[in-house]
Amino acid sequence: YCIAPSENIEVWTDMLQNMKSRGLKQVELFLSDGVVGMKTALAQTYPKAHFQRCLVHVMRNICAKVRVDDREKIMNEFKQVHQQTNKEEATAVLHDFYTKWGKVYSHVIRSLKDIEPFL
C-alpha cells in the first residue's frame, strides 16, 4: 500500500522497484485499469509478467459511453467474451460484438480494439 502524489510512469516504476527491493522476485499476472505508464513500468521491472486490463474498469468505461437504454444488453453481450472456454472462442465472440455494435458505438469499439490484447 502506498499513497502516490500522481499517476505516471515514474510513480509506478518507483512502486514496483520498491516491491522488488522488498523481495518480490517475479510477477506472473498484473491486473490494472488503464492508468498511464503502468504497463511500461511493469515491463521494465518485471519483464516476464503478463498484463491484463481490469474487466470491471473496462465494463464501466463501456457503460459510460453508451445510451442508458443499451447498457444492460451491451454488458450482457460483452460478458459473454469472458465466459468462453478458450481464447479462440472468446476472440470470435468479441469480434461478433464488434460487428454488432460497431455502427452505433464506433468509438467504444475503437477503444476496445486498442486494448484487445490485454482483455
CB burial of residue 81 (10 Å; 0-12, 13-18, 19+): buried
| 31, β-bridge pairs | 52
**pTM over cut 0.85:** no
Measured CA to CA, the distance from residue 107 to residue 119 in angstroms comes to: 17
Q: What is the pLDDT of residue 100?
A: 97
Q: Tell me the per-residue pLDDT of 67-84, one tens digit each, with 9 for 90 and over.
A: 999 999 999 999 999 999
Q: List helix spans (H) across the chain.
A: 9-21, 38-45, 55-64, 68-79, 87-101, 106-115
- Judging by beta carbons within 10 Å of its beta carbon (0-12, 13-18, 19+), is residue 72 exposed, middle or buried? exposed
Domain ranges for the chain, please list them.
9-52, 55-118
pLDDT tens digits, one per residue of 3-46 = 888 889 999 999 999 999 999 999 999 999 888 899 999 999 99
